[in-house]
Amino acid sequence: MNILVTGSNGQLGNEVQVLAKQHMKHRYWFTDVAELDITDAAAVKAFVTANKIELIINCAAYTNVDKAEEDEATALKINADAAGVLGSQGVRVIHISTDYVFSGDEHVPCREDDVVAPRTAYGRTKYEGEKRLLAVCPEAVILRTAWLYSTFGNNFVKTMIRLGKERQELGVVFDQIGTPTYAADLAQAIFTVIESPIWRPGVYHFTNEGVCSWYDFTLVIHELAGVTTCKVRPILSEEYQYKTPRPHYSVLDKSKFKKTFDVEIPHWMDGLRRCMKSLNS
Ligand SMILES: NC(=O)c1ccc[n+]([C@@H]2O[C@H](COP(=O)([O-])OP(=O)(O)OC[C@H]3O[C@@H](n4cnc5c(N)ncnc54)[C@H](OP(=O)(O)O)[C@@H]3O)[C@@H](O)[C@H]2O)c1
């Protein structure tokens, strides 16, 4: 298959590049905004036609939650308009969405057909992207994920390691519950979809297994990174003073993905251990 990967320089895009080496029966075109701006409809069409692309894996997105609040128009262009552009090419699409489509007020894991109620500009634009994509490409696969980290790019894991080494004390919120997800495991989920003998369109939830707060996550990050000189203190979200409100509970129910593709998903601690090993090597 001829596969176009967008947003290849991001956390997930890089992990897809790594895993693609184990799936060399396909041909890949790894692009980021410099090679292919997904908001440029003419350029996308020309690229897909010229390279006879059969599948698009869309790892590109406007992911800065705070900046999206100030510039929702740009976030909408990248997260929603471009999803529609990619969906209009007459080829299969795997697209990534987010737990931010939900309100975060739940107390049980969210299922794919639960009512969405995004509370942020980022969440609104990502949900709009799902709708625009499905309107033109009902055969698309949408994977909603959460709390992504990777050996690539900047993320919570790397920030906590750095702050843990710099500071003697650190306050981290304990009233936001979710599931840290190793982008390499999400990349594996993407290949599970691709290699499935039958194309199974639809919206799916995919994160690692388990739940924790950012505070619990930090304790394990420090333990695995050998950070022993920083006292981590649990704080409330209101003490952190986020520019943009964050969901309090954004655990995703992954039953549909596991049942459809007959897979087990690694626990977040297992993912974190592998990421740390990779960071240290
Ligand atoms: N990170 C998380 O915690 C999280 C949580 C839930 C869901 N997700 C979703 O998971 C997916 C992957 O996230 P990620 O963390 O890997 O994102 P990321 O690291 O921010 O990577 C996104 C990539 O897309 C590129 N991009 C931006 N605008 C583009 C355009 N117009 N054309 C082509 N490429 C463009 C970015 O380039 P620049 O850096 O130059 O802008 C970046 O390289 C996204 O759909 C995101 O919404 C992420």
Tokens of 94: 């795997």
Tokens of 105: 């007020």
Q: Cα separations (Å) of 71 from 57, 62, 124, 125, 191? A: 25, 10, 12, 11, 33
CATH number of 78's domain: 3.40.50.720
Q: How many CB atoms lie within 10 A of CB 127?
A: 21
| pLDDT for res 213 | 98
Specify the number of domains making up the chain: 1
* Catalytically annotated residue among 122, 149, 215, 249: 122
- How remote is the CA of residue 177 from the centroid of ligand 1, in Å? 22
| Ligand 1 atom at shortest distance from the alpha carbon of 13 | 16
Ligand 1 binding residues, C-beta < 6 A: 6-7, 9-13, 32-33, 37-39, 59-61, 63, 78, 96, 98, 126, 145-148, 153
- How remote is the CA of residue 25 from the centroid of ligand 1, in Å? 26
- Atom 42 (ligand 1) nearest CA: 10
Axis-axis angle for helices 268-280, 156-166 (nearest 10): 70
| pLDDT for res 117 | 97
Q: What is the pLDDT along the chain (281 residues), one digit of tens a residue?
A: 999 999 999 999 999 999 999 999 999 999 999 999 999 999 999 999 999 999 999 999 999 999 999 999 999 999 999 999 999 999 999 999 999 999 999 899 999 999 999 999 999 999 999 999 999 999 999 999 999 999 999 999 999 999 999 999 999 999 999 999 999 999 999 999 999 999 999 999 999 999 999 999 999 999 999 999 999 999 999 998 888 989 999 999 999 999 999 999 999 999 999 999 999 88
- Identify whether 22 is part of a domain: yes
- Identify whether 241 is part of a domain: no
- Identify whether 221 is part of a domain: no
Residues 6+ apart with CB under 8 A from 21: none
- Atom 7 (ligand 1) nearest CA: 98
- Identify whether 85 is part of a domain: yes
- Atom 17 (ligand 1) nearest CA: 10
- Identify whether 161 is part of a domain: no
Q: How many CB atoms lie within 10 A of CB 251?
A: 24
- Atom 48 (ligand 1) nearest CA: 148
- Identify whether 25 is part of a domain: yes
Phi/psi zone of residue 147: left (φ > 0), alpha (ψ -120 to 50 degrees), beta? Answer: left
| pLDDT for res 241 | 84
CA angle centred on 230, ends 226 and 233, rounded to 5°: 120
- How remote is the CA of residue 13 from the centroid of ligand 1, in Å? 8
| pLDDT for res 9 | 98
Domain around 37: 2-150+181-209+249-265
| Ligand 1 atom at shortest distance from the alpha carbon of 60 | 24
- Identify whether 160 is part of a domain: no
| pLDDT for res 281 | 87
Q: Look up 122 and say whether it is catalytic.
A: yes
- Identify whether 92 is part of a domain: yes
| pLDDT for res 188 | 98
